[in-house]
Structure 1
Amino acid sequence: MTGTRRPAPAIRLAGAELGWVLVNSGILLVDKPQGITSHDVVSRVRKAAGTRKVGHAGTLDPMATGLLVTGINSSTRLLTFLVGLDKTYAATIRLGVSTASDDADGEVVTVTDASSVDEPSLLRGIEALTGDILQVPTTVSAIKVDGKRAYALAREGVEVELTARPVTVTRFELLARRDVVVDGSAVVDLDVIVDCTSGTYVRALARDLGGGLGVGGHLTALRRTRIGPFDVADAAELEGVDVAAHLLPPSGVARRLFDVFEMTAQQTIDLGHGKKLPVVRSDDPGPIAAITPDGRLAGLVSVTRGIVRPIVNFPTDEVSS
């Protein structure tokens, strides 16, 4: 029928004790294990959820572990608004060794005795990399240069020069220091916590800290523990993940991220038909979560001159059973 919107197809999952469960859309927090790519995680979630429409917000390198936010079906539309959230990382930096990729997966470039690095110099180096800084991303990154990923160009032997970008490191805290000998060389391992804006490379912090101290440095471990309001403690293990049991409804996610516009039944109908919604509300570019009387996310909207305008609409496909 003309003007009738078909609901998104449901995913049918075998719940452990619930029998068959219908899952249409939602956000799934995954604790990514080491040694696989973020795309590998998406592939496994697709298989577990029985749908091709799965995406993620914010890539993690194969070496890294921790929180990866994935979206299923129409909730992939929310991922755009999750990518830019601030993040927290737990990391280990090794001073005295620099690598081509600024992490443990790269070829060793230089080895320098780091035993002379004293505590005051170390703390000054950390302080210099805290706050609003200009950071040159690591060469082996997903940044595009002339239409190609920097890491792909590096693998081809092309010398890549990336431009420094403004980032903010709100916390760069030293938790522990260990002076150790590795392969006959005196190195220093640092356990740190980093709070930073999206687009910050912790690998580059390791590189720049070691470079500033004159001994080189790289990342040996990285774990993302937070993205915005989402914590890795609430994430599901990827192996044998029960998607239905861990899926967060889009309305709940939107309420945690945005201001809320609680709609009446008539406003819900009108918004679905693309009509203008006059409201007594200050102008707000949004996103504002438009929530229906029964608690579903109808869309993300803005308010201009007392009129609600859609940014993105969502099908009525919350989690159901």
Structure 2
Amino acid sequence: MDGILPLWKPKGFTSHDCVSKARGMLKTKKVGHTGTLDPEVEGVLPLCVGKATKIVPFLTDTDKVYETVVTLGYSTTTEDATGDKMDVKKVKPLSISEVMEALASFQGEITQIPPMYSAVKVDGKKLYEYAREGKEVERPARQVMVKEIELIDQDITFSEQTASFSIRVVCSKGTYIRTLCVDIGKYLGYPAHMSFLVRTKTGDISREDCYTFDEIQENVDKDKRNSLLLSLSRGLNHLSSWEVEQEMIPKIQHGQVFESPEGISEPLFVVKCAGEVLAIYQQHPSKPGYIK
């Protein structure tokens, strides 16, 4: 089995849990995920199977699309709804235009400080391990790209103390939506947290492409497991491609260096023959005008 299994990750599973379950269902060890989702978050989690595990880094590096709810009025220890309540401040009347102005300020390249409850490593130790010990350490700031950020509907839900609104975010790898929600709250002058999150797209793979574990099991029982898999090219659609003739295949399989093809200037690109992915090539680091 070689291809991409477009899984709709259920709540209550870690990304590693999903890999383990898929290995058992598909009866294969070569399965890898393409970007972690927190246990309480559901959404698109493509799993690479067989030879497709080789493209994990490239599919992981794609843009992600999320739908999330920002709740103003109190912050939490984990920056989401699972943490303990911390700072509290009653939300005063708030307009849609104020929220729109806040969202606009976060479009483009922004700086984030990863949350303490995250898998980012500091001095060889994951931040959530420090957090569980009650320690807070200095965290390195990182640059991420928010390509799109918008209100899902023109509505703010008010309660006695809080206000919530739903947003859609298209962002680069490594963006913490929890932290984005907290920072939006700070811009508006309130402690905040992320009260809901779902990932609706990874690269070119969307919600409509995905299967639940029950649907996967149903196909496995009918001996239709291969029908579940997307081609390798679906995980590489964000890269340019170079189509070659049949006689080039052995040379590419042996990793031969070539002159740069016309029209290809990107650092990385896919090499295909008759639409089938053969390799990923890059501009040669020491030989200008050549690729390897």
Structures share a fold, TM > 0.5?
Answer: yes
Structure 1 counterpart of 2:115, one-letter code: T
Q: Find out whether 1:35 has 2:12 as its counterpart.
A: yes
Shift of 1:68: 0.7
Alpha-carbon distance change, 119 to 281 in structure 1, aligned in 2, over 3 angstroms: closer
Q: Find out whether 1:67 has 2:67 as its counterpart.
A: no
Distance 1:249 1:190 in 2: 37
More strand by share: 1
Q: How does 1:40-119 map to 2 (within 5 A)?
A: 40-119=17-96
Segment of structure 1 superposing worse, 87-96 or 130-139: 130-139
Structure 2 counterpart of 1:34, one-letter code: K
Q: Find out whether 1:177 has 2:156 as its counterpart.
A: yes
Q: Find out whether 1:220 has 2:195 as its counterpart.
A: yes
Structure-2 residue corresponding to 1:138: 115
SS of 2:54 mapped into structure 1:
helix
Match of 1:210 among 171, 174, 185: 185
Distance 1:140 1:81 in 2: 26
Shift of 1:137: 1.7
Structure 1 counterpart of 2:252, one-letter code: L
CA contact (8 A) 1:270 1:277 kept: no
Shift of 1:99: 0.3
Distance 2:165 2:204 in 1: 27
CA contact (8 A) 1:140 1:150 kept: yes
SS of 2:148 mapped into structure 1:
strand
Q: How does 1:200-279 map to 2 (within 5 A)?
A: 200-241=175-216, 242=219, 243-254=225-236, 256-277=237-258
Alpha-carbon distance change, 275 to 110 in structure 1, aligned in 2, over 3 angstroms: closer
Q: Deviations over 1:108-136 (max 9, x none)?
A: 11222113444444333323222222121
Q: Deviations over 1:283-314 (max 9, x none)?
A: 64543222235x432211235455442xxxxx
Task: Provide TM-score, normalisation by structure 1.
Answer: 0.80
CA contact (8 A) 1:282 1:303 kept: no
Match of 1:192 among 167, 182, 186: 167
Structure 2 counterpart of 1:233, one-letter code: E
Q: Deviations over 1:53-111 (max 9, x none)?
A: 11111111112111111101121111101122111111111110210010011111122
Match of 1:302 among 263, 282, 291: 282
Alpha-carbon distance change, 281 to 130 in structure 1, aligned in 2, over 3 angstroms: closer
Q: Cα RMSD over matched residues?
A: 2.2
Structure 2 counterpart of 1:82, one-letter code: L
Structure 2 counterpart of 1:281, one-letter code: E
Structure 1 counterpart of 2:277, one-letter code: L
Q: How does 1:158-173 map to 2 (within 5 A)?
A: 158-173=135-150
Alpha-carbon distance change, 164 to 277 in structure 1, aligned in 2, over 3 angstroms: closer
Distance 1:168 1:275 in 2: 35
Distance 1:108 1:131 in 2: 30
More helix by share: 2
Distance 1:271 1:169 in 2: 36
Task: Provide TM-score, normalisation by structure 2.
Answer: 0.87
Structure 2 counterpart of 1:95, one-letter code: L
% of aligned pairs identical?
Answer: 32
**Which protein has the larger Cα radius of gyration, Structure 1 or Structure 2?**
1
Q: Deviations over 1:28-53 (max 9, x none)?
A: 11111112111111111111111111
Q: How many residues align?
A: 280
Which residues of structure 2 form unaligned runs of 5+? 220-224
Shift of 1:163: 2.5
CA contact (8 A) 1:126 1:172 kept: yes
CA contact (8 A) 1:137 1:162 kept: yes
Distance 1:301 1:244 in 2: 28
Which residues of structure 1 form unaligned runs of 5+? 1-22, 310-321
Alpha-carbon distance change, 126 to 270 in structure 1, aligned in 2, over 3 angstroms: closer
Shift of 1:146: 0.5
Distance 2:97 2:240 in 1: 44
CA contact (8 A) 2:102 2:187 kept: yes
Shift of 1:192: 1.0
